[in-house]
């Protein structure tokens, strides 16, 4: 299923850096009553102190869905059997990509901080997301994601 870890930086042609040798993926968990599950990123992490979705580097040969589910389980206690995939959005730079996997909660669960990459894990109402200090990548994708969630 998955092989070598992808935990390393990839440098683009202009010197910009992105996390994940095989790309990266994150899980946007949607609960019909509670909103979306967000992660307050540890200060020491890339763009620390901002809010985003649980996620990270994909392993070699790992699908975006599997990577996002694995990372969300590790970082926020999201159970694979508690969510169902709704859709995916891919941001592809040619040499690196990030996939946002959007899932619906199908069985209630109690998320929580399950590793040192998070300060806090919290359900946030859709209308309140943009008011938080968001990770720049998540902030850029949020308008399109919220539109897709509403349709």
pLDDT digits (tens, 9 = 90+) for 88-140: 999 999 999 999 999 999 999 999 999 888 899 999 999 999 999 999 999 99
Residue 4, in any domain of the structure: no
Average pLDDT over residues 46-72: 94
Question: In this structure, what CATH number is given to the domain that contains residue 40?
Answer: 3.90.79.10
Residue 2, in any domain of the structure: no
- Residue 18's pLDDT is what? 87
Residue 79, in any domain of the structure: yes
Beta strand 55-57 with 83-92 is unpaired
Distance separating alpha carbons of residues 40 and 87, to the nearest angstrom: 23
Distance separating alpha carbons of residues 29 and 103, to the nearest angstrom: 5
122 is in which domain, residue-wise?
9-150
**CA-angle at 131, arms to 57 and 76, nearest 5°:** 35
Residue 22 CA from chain centroid, whole number = 15
Residue 3, in any domain of the structure: no
Structure tokens at 44: 């020491």
Express as a percent the part of the chain with pLDDT over 90: 77
Residue 89, in any domain of the structure: yes
- Residue 1's pLDDT is what? 44
Return mean pLDDT, the chain.
93
Residue 1, in any domain of the structure: no
Q: What is the pTM of this model?
A: 0.92
pLDDT of 87 higher than 90: yes
Among 147, 74, 127, CA closest to 25: 74
Give 99's Cβ-side CA count (13 Å radius): 20
Q: Predicted confidence band at 147 (pLDDT cuts at 50, 70, 90)?
A: very high
Residue 82, in any domain of the structure: yes
Domain count, the chain: 1
pLDDT of 67 higher than 50: yes
Residue 119, in any domain of the structure: yes
């Amino acid at each position: 299923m998955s092989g070598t870890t992808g935990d390393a930086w990839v440098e683009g042609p202009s010197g910009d850096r992105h996390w994940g040798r095989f790309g990266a993926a994150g899980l946007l968990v949607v609960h019909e009553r509670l909103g979306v599950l967000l992660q307050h990123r540890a200060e020491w992490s890339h763009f620390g102190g901002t809010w985003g979705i649980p996620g990270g580097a994909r392993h070699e040969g790992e699908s975006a869905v599997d990577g996002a589910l694995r990372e969300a389980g590790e970082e926020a206690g999201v159970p694979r059997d508690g969510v169902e995939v709704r859709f995916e959005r891919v941001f592809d730079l040619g040499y690196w990509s990030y996939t946002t996997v959007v899932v619906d909660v199908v069985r209630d669960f109690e998320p929580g901080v399950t590793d040192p990459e998070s300060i806090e894990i919290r359900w946030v109402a859709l209308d309140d997301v943009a008011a938080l200090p968001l990770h720049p990548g998540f902030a850029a994708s949020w308008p399109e994601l919220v539109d897709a969630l509403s349709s």
